[in-house]
Amino acid sequence: MARLKIALAPGDGIGPEIMEATLDLFKAVGVDEQAEFLPVEMGASVFAKGNSRGMTDAAIQTVESCGILFKGPMETPKGGGGKSINVTARKLWNAYANLRTFKSLPGVQTVHSRAGIPIDVTVVRENIEDTYGGVEHRLSNDTIQCKRLITAPGCDQVHRFALQTARRMGLTRVHCGHKANIMKMTDGLFLERFRQVARDFPEIEPADVIVDALCMNLVVDPRRYQMIVLPNLQGDIVSDLCAGLVGGLGFAPSANIGTHLAIFEAVHGTAPDIAGKGIANPTSLILSGVMMLRHLGLGYEAATIENALLATLESGTHTGDFGDRSVPPLGTRDFTSAIIERLGQRPGTIPAALVPEKAGPTYVRPPKPAGQQVIRTFKNVVTHVVGCDIYLDSPLSPVALAEEMQRACVDGPFKLTLISNRGTQVWPTGSVYTECVDYYRVRFELKDAVTAGSFGQARCIALLDRVAESFSICSYEVLRTFDGVKGYSLAQGQ
């Protein structure tokens, strides 16, 4: 049987050292008999050549051919326009679900381990959308916008992945973390789709928690959570918080899973201050590699490595960043050698990973899509244009601006209903204590005698054109109803 092909990007800083050590461990357990690693060019050296993606065309082709990327930590250039290669890779290949498991490890002392509180939490983070789209604009002298995008198909994908993973792990409860009490439409959609998808998993109890309360609860008593699924930015923060609970990012594995490709990586930094010294801790990358082996169907190799690592940590063996300071630390290679020496052993103080019979990989590379796919959730929805929000760069007071806007719409089908500033209503009612900046939202809605659905966006564009004769327009949003439900939010104080 032909060996699986895995794209390999060692990374920057300490990346090559911990990757070499991890591959030595893989070889010792026989992974090389099942898989071939194909090096690809990604990271700082590619950025340095002026490639703002941080990866060569050949690297992209190899990853897409393999369907699996195993990567070390990579540096994002400071300045120069290059974006995070980690985010780029996840979005480029639509690895929509970030899976990270956090477990107490023997020999890794934390506040919770000293208190006798074991941690076993899984976080699933949506990986493509939210503010991580990086859609930003300067709108006025004083105002910059970052656009937050949440889609129903994106929510469905990550929720279904989370619940399928929970089912496979034998979990009985999954929490949706959110801020739907404030962001009622975006986080509201994320929560609504979670509840909808959860109906297909009756054996799992769906629950939800506001993200700020979640963070407090995780610190006070993480045992109340089995799995948490969150939007992108909140998931990024919560997953790092959970890493802190088990000793830091050096003990946190990470997988990014999509329909066609998957990325397994160490999520800690490149640690340039210790690069080349041979003292880096490879545990995070080893655990990420264990997740990859299980994804490929190499359960025997994955469990054998995991048990050997746990037995090594249990013995007090450690690198310089953790462990008993009275026991001399080992360097990267010696630490890995200690794990290799314990292959076949199991930990004695915590449950061992179940070791299945040795078998060939079960991973089958999904067929390459013929073209970019358009994914949809809601279809055949009846929509009507009922107004528009026009965003203006203006130094006028709310009252003065309202007078101008009322004149602009006097002959059309719309009336001025709202002016807000930084999301807070400042007209027709408001407080003199509300300070305003030079960026306003002006809302026009249908006059009482005008029927919804009697025209499309053209009348909004005509109004936009009229306003633009005297004002700088930053952006514009059409207001619509969807099956009779408003597709836009109220302002604070409205």
pLDDT along the chain (494 residues), means of 10: 91 97 98 96 92 93 97 81 81 96 96 94 97 92 96 98 98 98 97 98 98 97 97 97 96 96 95 96 98 97 98 97 94 98 96 94 91 94 97 97 97 96 96 96 96 92 96 96 95 84
Model pLDDT, residue 79: 59
> What was the pLDDT predicted at 134?
85
Do residue 289 and residue 351 come from a single domain?
Answer: yes
Which tokens in the block code for residue 103?
């477990």
Distances 419 to 140, 388, 402, 440, 469 between C-alpha atoms, Å: 17, 12, 7, 7, 19
Does one domain contain both 105 and 233? Answer: yes
Give the pair of three-digit tokens for residue 292: 């990859």
Q: What is the CATH number of the domain that holds 436?
A: 3.30.70.1570
Clarify whether residues 415 and 425 are in a common domain. yes
pLDDT value at residue 342: 98
Judge contact between 402 and 416, C-beta under 8 A: yes
Distance (Å, whole) CA 17 – CA 333: 8
- Residue 128 sits in the same domain as residue 48: no
Last residue of a domain, one of 184, 203, 237: 237
φ/ψ (deg, to 5) at 86: -65, -45
CATH code of the domain in which 368 resides: 3.40.718.10
Output b/e per residue, 176-195; b: 16+ Cβ within 10 A.
Answer: bbbbbeebeebbbbbbbbbe
246 inside domain: no
**Structural domain contains residue 245:** no
Residue 369 sits in the same domain as residue 389: no
The C-alpha atoms of residue 79 and residue 193 are separated, in whole angstroms, by: 38
Residues 183 and 224 in one domain: yes
Residue 304 within a domain? yes
Regarding whether 274 and 179 lie in a shared domain, the answer is no
What is the reported pLDDT for 101? 97
Q: Mark whether 332 and 414 lie in a shared domain.
A: no
Tell me, yes or no, whether 22 and 112 share the same domain.
no
Q: Which of 237, 271, 302 is the last residue of a domain?
A: 237
Query: 141: part of which helix (H) or strand (E)?
Result: none
Domain assignment of residue 306, yes or no: yes
Q: Which tokens sit at 418?
A: 């709202």
242 lies in a domain? no
* Residue 480 contacts residue 384 (beta carbons within 8 Å): yes
Instruction: Indicate whether 493 belongs to any domain.
Output: no
Q: What span, in angstroms and rounded, lies between the C-alpha atoms of 130 and 162?
A: 18
Q: Which domain holds residue 352?
A: 1-95+258-373
Count of Cβ atoms closer than 10 Å to residue 168 Cβ = 8
Residues 186 and 316 in one domain: no
Dihedrals phi, psi of 325, to nearest 5 degrees? -70, -15
- What span, in angstroms and rounded, lies between the C-alpha atoms of 322 and 110? 10
Strands (E), 25-104: 35-39, 68-71, 97-103
- Cβ neighbors of 50 (< 8 A, separation 6 or more) are none
The domain boundary, picked from 373, 391, 412, lies at 373
Asked if residue 175 and residue 68 are part of one domain, the reply reads no
Give how many domains the chain has, as a whole number. Answer: 3
341 lies in the same domain as 459: no
Residue 35 in tokens: 């898989």
CB 105 within 8 A of CB 322: no
Give me the pLDDT at residue 206, please: 98
> Are 1 and 36 spatial neighbours (Cβ–Cβ below 8 Å)?
no
Q: Tokens 């690198």, residue?
A: 319
Q: Cβ(14)–Cβ(280) under 8 Å?
A: yes
